[in-house]
């Protein structure tokens, strides 16, 4: 089976490199800017950089549309697909409806989303080993995609159309919003005179330690900190300090705290956090001692 890629950016480049390294023939690639397509083809034996998506479809048995979500439907509609060909998008959020023009002429359609943060560097291909890939497709394409994922060391997870939005939301929560939280936490250091960049540098070892704890101990046992200890006094001091210096962050801190209390209770049933749960929640709701 010969593969082709429409899109030579972060996802397309990583997947094409990884599959080619695993011995899968990648025969054609195109991109919005041909420079990246030519650079990608140059490192994949037997791969040609071609001008259009149609050229890729004419050469490949399975075409991966590794383009931005907003462009998938337009690119798919612009190609004359063959019955029996396979067309796959890499979106974590879209269902297969965006590939309807291909399905209407008898092509097999699917989705294969790498659950990994990719930055467009050659090292991205190595990140895919061990990563989950969300697959939406019917047989026989479902099995074909699962086999390709396993060949590069990935873990296929089968999804339905109704699963996609929640699956993608979970990825945004753990990946994108971690960056938001890091920027927010590091920004607090500016209040006491430390540049956000230096604040982030100081906090990164803590973040790495948290990831190690999650890998080794899972949820909820990786949880530490004042809520996990049932430490209402420290929690109140945090809330008061935020009220004084960064009141805009109080809603975020309170909401995250509300979601943390049940984890703390689950972590140690009958322990301090369990016994102090009502007091902790009252503080987070602005009803406890010292609340305004």
The per-residue pLDDT for range 148-204, each reduced to its tens digit, is 999 999 999 999 999 999 999 999 999 999 999 999 999 999 999 999 999 999 999
* Mean pLDDT computed over 50-57: 98
- Global pTM reads 0.85
Strands, sheet with 26-30, edge to edge from the N-terminal-most edge strand: 48-49, 26-30, 3-6, 62-65, 86-89, 108-114, 132-137, 155-158
pLDDT band of 289, cuts 50, 70, 90: low
Position 292 scores a pLDDT of 46
pLDDT band of 32, cuts 50, 70, 90: confident
Position 290 scores a pLDDT of 46
* Mean pLDDT computed over 47-62: 98
Nearest to 281 by CA among 236, 245, 241, 218: 236
Distance in angstroms (rounded) separating the CA atoms of residues 227 and 236:
11
Contact 62, 88 (CB under 8 A): yes
Per-residue model confidence as pLDDT tens digits over 115-152 = 999 999 989 999 999 999 999 999 999 999 999 999 99
Q: How many CA atoms lie within 13 A of 139 on its CB side?
A: 1
Position 33 scores a pLDDT of 79
DSSP for residue 287 = -
Per-residue model confidence as pLDDT tens digits over 231-281 = 999 999 999 999 999 999 999 999 999 999 999 999 999 999 999 999 999
Position 276 scores a pLDDT of 96
Q: 291 pLDDT exceeds 80?
A: no
Helical packing angle, 277-284 and 232-245, nearest 10°: 0
Mean per-residue pLDDT over the chain, rounded: 96
Position 58 scores a pLDDT of 98
3-state percent breakdown (helix, strand, coil) of the chain, nearest 5:
55, 10, 30
Cα angle for residues 208, 213, 219 (degrees, 5° grid): 125
């Amino acid at each position: 089976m010969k593969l082709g890629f429409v899109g030579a950016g972060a996802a397309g480049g990583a997947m094409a490199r990884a599959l080619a390294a695993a011995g899968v023939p990648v025969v054609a690639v195109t991109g919005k800017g041909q420079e990246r397509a030519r650079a990608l083809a140059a490192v994949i034996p037997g791969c040609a950089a071609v001008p259009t998506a149609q050229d890729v479809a004419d050469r490949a048995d399975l075409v991966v549309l590794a383009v931005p979500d907003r462009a998938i439907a337009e690119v798919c509609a612009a190609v004359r697909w063959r019955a029996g060909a396979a067309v796959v998008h890499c979106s974590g959020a879209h269902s297969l409806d965006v590939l309807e023009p291909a399905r209407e002429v008898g092509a097999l359609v699917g989705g294969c989303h790498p659950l990994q943060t990719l930055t467009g560097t050659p090292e991205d291909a190595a990140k895919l080993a061990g990563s989950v890939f969300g697959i939406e497709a019917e047989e026989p394409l479902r099995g074909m995609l699962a086999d390709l994922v396993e060949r590069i060391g990935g873990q296929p997870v089968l999804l339905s159309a109704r699963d996609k939005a929640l699956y993608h939301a979970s990825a945004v929560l753990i990946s994108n919003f971690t960056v938001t939280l890091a920027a927010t936490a590091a920004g607090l250091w500016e209040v006491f005179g430390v540049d956000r960049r230096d604040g982030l540098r100081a906090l990164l070892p803590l973040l790495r330690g948290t990831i190690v704890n999650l890998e080794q101990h899972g949820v909820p046992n990786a949880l530490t900190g004042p809520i996990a200890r049932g430490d209402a006094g420290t929690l109140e001091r945090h809330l008061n300090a935020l009220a004084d210096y960064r009141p805009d962050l109080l809603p975020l801190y309170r909401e995250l705290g509300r979601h943390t209390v049940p984890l703390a209770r689950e972590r140690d049933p009958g322990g301090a956090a369990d016994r102090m749960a009502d007091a902790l929640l009252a503080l987070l709701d602005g009803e406890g001692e010292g609340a305004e």
